Structure 1
Amino acid sequence: MERVLEWIDEGTTLCRGALRDLEGPSLLPDWSRRHVAAHLFLNADALGNLVEWARTGVERPMYPSAEARNADIEQAALLPAEQLRSSFDDACARLNAAMATLTDEQWQATIRNSRGASIPATTIPWLRTREVMIHAVDLDAGITFADLPADFLDALCNDIRTTRDAVPEVDGPLPEQAAYLCGRPYKNLTDADGRPVEPLPPCL
């Protein structure tokens, strides 16, 4: 848990630096940098809902629905750049403060993620880590998977291999493997037979 919380701080710092310029496309299809920024701060508040669920035992889903989530992102992406940045800062601070209030017992509470799967509350920090680390790259401000901590990349690859169906084994640098498994652009990867691998759809 301690290292995962450190990853959140590292990823948040990377994202905050990448938010200096919000004008332009991101690496994600149909999303601008503004969309990524909007998603990042809304996701922090959505995970805050799960923290509150774990703290009180009262069900509090991340989002009312997938449609509401998408609509909120579209609306928030229209905010002035400085408001997007301040919203990101405020939401990150709220989530960190909320997580700090949970007791050991509350961290063991069962909640549900955005897909409706039951998970322990201890998963919340990892969910946020993935968001800030991967989307720091998606903001397309010069950050690549090679800039992310190696121990995070290793944990990410292991996580995706256990949750994605039929992911082939690939050979190549760890940052490129992580990019491939996340469905992001990659290079210099081959399968077990030495053949180039086919891209995967984005998983986050």
Structure 2
Amino acid sequence: MIDHAHDLAAVHKATERLLASVGTLDNASVNEPSRLPGWTRGHVLAHLARNAEALTNALEARPMYASDGARDADIEQGAARPVDVHLADLRESAAGLRAAAEAPADWSRTVELRNGVTDSASRIPFRRWIELELHHVDLGVGYELEDLPADFTEREIDFLTDRFDGNPGVPPTRITDGVRSWRTGREGEPEVTVTGAPAELVGWLAGRRDGSALTAEGGPLPAPPAL
């Protein structure tokens, strides 16, 4: 069950962790490569600020972005800014999202995201939490998948296995950390069983690790679709 109030509190904590990490950077390190191909740390930070604004738009029944081209241009234009400007932008955009989320509203309503995707408004805080946690790792500043909150890691595995469920490009797959298990991919047999630590599982599913630390039985390790 989605608890948007819990997730909003988690978003605030994740934002504070991110801001603390960014505060350790200087202008030169902001322009260094991130762990995302083709993006500097500045690109990641600009994306996070614009994503907060986009989710604010979704909550307030506006299109997330004017267009995909405008989204990409805003990220590119903002990437090379000084670190203090990035920090101010992150704080301001996060405050705007928080204000929109704290306004009286029907959290069961349906909101429109990008590319015609729709979701319950109650899931918007978790979507923002995902952005903050994974992109914090992408910065390559010492915050790793193993540092993610345990409840976030479990829910992100839930989220991604559900997202890939029924995908014809993913073989029938059972995923387990030795305690909990999930199922994803298309229906049928044989089923591949993938086993590993939670951080390794979420990294593999989210395209942040190659899965070399996982074990696969019943077939080769599947390649999750790009996010």
TM-score, with structure 2 as normaliser: 0.79
Is 1:24 aligned to residue 32 of structure 2? Answer: yes
Counterpart mapping for 1:34-183 below 5 A: 34-53=42-61, 60-103=62-105, 106-164=106-164, 165=167, 166=170, 168=173, 169=175, 170-183=194-207
CA contact (8 A) 2:58 2:111 kept: yes
Q: Distance in 1 between matches of 2:120 and 2:13?
A: 23
Give how far 1:13 is off: 2.0
In 1: Cα distance, 2:151 partner to 2:115 partner = 26
Q: Contact conserved, 1:51 with 1:98, CA < 8 A, in 2? A: yes
Root mean square deviation, CA, Å: 1.8
Q: Kindly provide the amino acid, as one letter, of the partner of residue 190 in structure 1.
A: T
Deviation at 1:194, TM superposition (A): 7.9
Q: Which segments of 5 or more consecutive residues in structure 1 lack a partner in the other structure?
A: 54-59
Which residue identity lines up with residue 113 of structure 1 in the other structure?
A: L
Question: Alignment partner of 2:60: what SS?
Answer: helix
8 Å CA contact 1:15–1:135 kept in 2: the answer is no
The structure-2 alpha-carbon separation of the partners of 1:10 and 1:191, relative to structure 1 and needing over 3 Å to count, comes to: farther
Structure holding more helix per residue: 1
For the Cα contact (< 8 Å) 1:183–1:199, is it kept in 2?
no
Quick one: distance in 2 between partners of 1:110 and 1:194?
Answer: 39
> Is 1:8 equivalent to 2:28 in the alignment?
no
* 1:41–1:88 contact (8 Å) kept in structure 2: yes
Higher strand share: 2
Task: Give 1:140 shift.
Answer: 0.6
Contact 1:136-1:143 at 8 Å conserved across structures = yes
Structure with more contact order per residue of length (Cα contacts < 8 Å, sep ≥ 6): 1
Deviations 1:146-192 (A, max 9, x none): 10111110000011011123263320000110000000125411223
% of aligned pairs identical?
34
Q: Which one has the largest radius of gyration?
A: 2
Report the Cα offset of residue 94 of structure 1. 1.1
Q: 1:26 deviation in Å?
A: 0.8
Work out whether residues 184 and 202 of structure 1, in 8 Å CA contact, stay in contact via their aligned partners in 2: no
How do 1:187-202 residues align onto structure 2 when only pairs under 5 Å count? 187-193=212-218, 197=221, 199-200=223-224, 202=226
